[in-house]
A and B are shown apart, each in its own frame.
Chain A
Amino acid sequence: MKKVIAREKLPELWKSLAAKGPLFLPIQEGPVVLFQPWQEGAEINLDAVNTAVSPKDVFLPREETYMQYRCSGKQLELIPAENIEPVTAFGVHPCDLKAVEMLDKVYIDQDPPDALYKKRRENTTVVGLSCSEPDPFCFCNEFGVDPADAPGADVMAHLKNGSVLLEARTDKGKALLEQAGDLLQDGSKETAEVKDVKTADFGLNLEGLPENLKERFEDPVWDELYKSCLGCGVCTYVCPTCYCFDVEDFGHEGEGQRFRCWDSCMYGHFTAMAGGHNPRAGRKERVRQRFMHKLQYYPEIFNEIACVGCGRCLRSCPVNLDIVQAIKALGGETVEQR
């Protein structure tokens, strides 16, 4: 099913979609674009290639309540987390959706699956958005992502001159377009103006890298690579394939909530143990962990490198210690390019 909508009609579409449940999309928030829930008056920016932080928090929110608790005397009352409503995520680029599929392997394709993540994923209708211009930091071509198509999307959207073409791929997608009713026009004769989007070419050679890294835990490369790392968590928080969380309580005496929230392997307390021991004592161990997770541990289990080339770490690391830097240092570079 293909539909088309004029660009100037989009605000009506947002309004109608948001009336049925939360609608997440790229919103201009001051100087940055973030994937956020729509509100009246929000400034939607579909032309931004990459949001500052990946859209992963639609599925894995920064903070998510497990349950609330209330105690009075010896009575303990546990109140389960609120219902997870159906949501729409509009404008997820191919790299970011591929990253969500990597999270699926961790959170859904396991026994037992993660109930909250699974529910959110099932309850979300994803409208993918093809990229017409790459950002200078984009390098998804290196990971075989097609910037023109997000195969896992329920609806695939393409920006055209003055309009947006919407192509439903799944039943959920069809339902979404049907809901929009008269706002959309028939687009069966329209074609996407797909451009051949060329992203940055760093000359990476990823063939065999995960296997090669298996015996390189003690490689001297790690003694140098980490040096510039400041030990902040920017890379992990902007990254679409980082998925670690911590469980905490928030509350006062007598009542509160137990929640999970994003955590970062770049932090000291991530592996700090009761009694004071920390198996990842410093920045070297933490930097190694992060890159090994992307390039060796994840691929060993799921057969693909946990990077989609979105370029966020290249853009946001304050000292430019990004995954390309790491891959090159570890020898994952085509020799002629050196």
Chain B
Amino acid sequence: MAERNIESVNKVREAVSQDLLGGRIDLLLGWEKGHYWWQSRPLFARSEEDLEKLAWDSFCAVNLSRYLLEELKDHDKIGVLVKGCDARAFNRLLQDNMVKRDQVILYGLPCPGMLDYNRLIEKAGGALLGITEENGRVILNIESGEQEAQRDDLLLDKCKDCRYPDPAVYDQLLFSPQGEKEGPERFKTVEELEEMSAEERFGYWEKELSRCLRCYACRQACPFCSCRECFVEQENPRWQGRAYQPSENFMFHLVRAYHGTGRCIDCGECERSCPVDIPLQELNRKLIKDINELYGDYEAGLDAEQEPPLLTYRPDDPAAFSEK
């Protein structure tokens, strides 16, 4: 089993159960174990019995903040467990006026990064029975015995270059902060793509996007995709055709990415949710990089008071388009 630390689950449970059972919140959004030790899925806890199922381990990748959009319709006050990215997602929703701060209690979980099951089995090279973790190392429990690996090598792509593992907003921080990180390779692939000629780059994306099933998991998992009606579903005018043509794939993915310019919090839930592994974070990160270069460094979701660059007007804003 993926035991990280029973103590830490207990600590989380203790913190939230007082509030849930004491009536300070009517719902807690957390995680519970799925069928497998490598799956932790959303938990909607309302009772002590529900809280028994609470999990906090290396597989709690699902961003819970997005569920507030629906759940706040039925509850007055909701508690949410937030990792660094989930907290930025909360700020995103706050800035979009989709949630109210005083209706939510945030329990901050400084996050060591979540593990990728595919990397684990690749490392194990065969049947993997479970893992144990200690001090940044992961011990893989394989049929022939044990194998040790560095935790950093087994992270989900979305966690690899995470710069802000600590929640930027919370009511209560449950563990000691991890501190800001460098994320040295965050823009590495984007830079490689920028080096390509326009034709090469078009070919690259045409191939990657050709796998798109238009299941819209990327949109549904995304904290910046909070529009009540997405352009995809609009009938008049009809922006998005249903055909599986390259032009329609580009239409969807480019509009989706552009709509997140200066708003994408780089949580990578889009890419993690994609059933055919389209590297969507490269599109998002290209736009993050462009914003940084044009308007100065900006990290969406870090500070709810700081307006996204494309939603503000300043007379000294660069006018890159007209200058060229």
Interface residues of A (CB under 8 A from B): 29-32, 34, 52-53, 62-63, 136, 200, 202, 224, 227-228, 230-234, 236-238, 246, 248, 250, 259, 261-262, 264, 267-269, 283, 314, 316, 318-322, 324-325
Chain B residues closer than 8 Å to A236, beta-carbon distance? 215
Most chain B CB inside 10 Å of its own CB: which residue of A62, A202, A228: A228
B44 at the interface (CB under 8 A from A): yes
Chain B residues closer than 8 Å to A269, beta-carbon distance? 233
Chain B residues closer than 8 Å to A248, beta-carbon distance? 241-243
Task: Give A269 to B216 CA distance when docked, in angstroms.
Answer: 13
Q: Interface code B36-67, partner A: CB below 8 Å = 1, 0 otherwise?
A: 10010110100000000000000000100011
A52 touching B276 in the complex, CB below 8 Å, given contacts A62-B213, A202-B35, A230-B221: yes
Residue total for B at the interface (Cβ-Cβ under 8 A): 34
Contact check, A53 vs B213: say whether CB atoms are below 8 A apart: yes
Contact check, A227 vs B62: say whether CB atoms are below 8 A apart: no
Q: Interface code B3-47, partner A: CB below 8 Å = 1, 0 otherwise?
A: 000000000000000000000000000000011100101101000
B232 smallest CB distance to A (angstroms): 9
Chain B residues closer than 8 Å to A314, beta-carbon distance? 35
Chain A residues closer than 8 Å to B213, beta-carbon distance? 53, 62, 233-234, 237-238, 262
Chain B residues closer than 8 Å to A259, beta-carbon distance? 243
A233 touching B217 in the complex, CB below 8 Å, given contacts A34-B211, A248-B242: yes
Subset of 22 A-B contacts with CB under 8 Å: A30-B211, A34-B276, A53-B275, A63-B244, A136-B36, A227-B67, A228-B67, A232-B220, A232-B273, A248-B242, A248-B243, A250-B245, A259-B243, A261-B242, A261-B243, A262-B213, A264-B215, A318-B62, A318-B220, A318-B221, A318-B273, A320-B41
Chain B residues closer than 8 Å to A224, beta-carbon distance? 44
- B62 contact from A31, A63, A319, Cβ within 8 A: A319
Contact check, A63 vs B217: say whether CB atoms are below 8 A apart: no
Task: Give A228 to B39 CA distance when docked, in angstroms.
Answer: 14
Task: Give A306 to B7 CA distance when docked, in angstroms.
Answer: 42
Interface residues of B (CB under 8 A from A): 34-36, 39, 41-42, 44, 62, 66-67, 70, 121, 208, 211, 213-217, 219-221, 233, 241-245, 269, 272-273, 275-277
A238 touching B275 in the complex, CB below 8 Å, given contacts A233-B215, A314-B35, A318-B62: yes
Chain B residues closer than 8 Å to A30, beta-carbon distance? 208, 211, 277
Most chain B CB inside 10 Å of its own CB: which residue of A62, A250, A320, A321: A320
Contact check, A268 vs B233: say whether CB atoms are below 8 A apart: yes
B52 smallest CB distance to A (angstroms): 14
Contact check, B221 vs A62: say whether CB atoms are below 8 A apart: no
B211 smallest CB distance to A (angstroms): 6
Task: Give A283 to B35 CA distance when docked, in angstroms.
Answer: 22
In order of increasing CB-CB distance, the 5 nearest A-B pairs are A318-B273, A232-B217, A230-B220, A320-B41, A232-B220
Contact check, B35 vs A234: say whether CB atoms are below 8 A apart: no
Chain B residues closer than 8 Å to A320, beta-carbon distance? 34-35, 39, 41
Chain A residues closer than 8 Å to B121, beta-carbon distance? 136
Chain B residues closer than 8 Å to A250, beta-carbon distance? 241-243, 245
- Contacts A30-B277, A230-B220, A238-B213 given; 19 further ones with Cβ under 8 A? A34-B276, A53-B276, A62-B213, A63-B243, A136-B36, A227-B42, A228-B41, A230-B66, A232-B215, A232-B220, A234-B217, A234-B275, A237-B275, A248-B242, A259-B243, A264-B215, A319-B41, A320-B34, A321-B41
Contact check, B211 vs A32: say whether CB atoms are below 8 A apart: yes
Task: Give A321 to B217 CA distance when docked, in angstroms.
Answer: 13
Of chain A, the residue at the smallest CB distance from B213 is A237
Of chain B, the residue at the smallest CB distance from A202 is B35
A316 touching B277 in the complex, CB below 8 Å, given contacts A227-B44, A228-B42: no
Of chain B, the residue at the smallest CB distance from A266 is B215
Chain B residues closer than 8 Å to A324, beta-carbon distance? 35
Task: Give A98 to B269 CA distance when docked, in angstroms.
Answer: 33
